[in-house]
Amino acid sequence: MQNTDKHRFGIALGSNLGDREANLKRGLEMVVERIRPSSVLAGGIYETEPVDCAPGTQAFLNTVVEMEAAVSPRELHEHLQAVEQAMGRPAVRERNSPRTLDLDLLYAGDFVSGDPVLTVPHPRLHQRRFVLQPLADIRPCLVLPRQTRSIAELLVGLTDDPAEVRLLKKAWMNPL
Per-residue pLDDT, 54: 75
DSSP annotation of 121 reads S
Q: Is 176 contained in some domain?
A: no
Domains: count for the chain: 1
- Residue 42, classified by CB atoms within 10 Å of its CB into exposed (0-12), middle (13-18) or buried (19+), is buried
Tens-digit pLDDT profile for residues 101-147: 999 999 999 999 988 889 999 988 999 999 999 999 999 999 999 89
Q: Tell whether 174 is covered by a domain.
A: no
CA distances from 169 to 26, 36, 47, 52 (A): 16, 25, 10, 25
User: Does residue 173 sit within a domain?
Assistant: no
pTM: 0.92
Give the residue among 21, 87, 14 at the shortest CA–CA distance from 50.
Answer: 14
The pLDDT assigned to 91 comes to 66
Q: What is the CATH number of the domain that holds 92?
A: 3.30.70.560
Looking at residue 95, what is its pLDDT? 64
* HSE-up of residue 89 (Cα within 13 Å, Cβ side): 25
Q: Is residue 122 a part of any domain in this protein?
A: yes
CA–CA distances in Å: residue 56 to residues 13, 17, 47, 49, 100: 21, 12, 15, 10, 16
Q: What whole-number distance in Å separates Cα of residue 92 and Cα of residue 31?
A: 21
pLDDT in tens, 12-67: 999 999 999 999 999 999 999 999 999 999 999 999 988 777 778 889 999 999 99
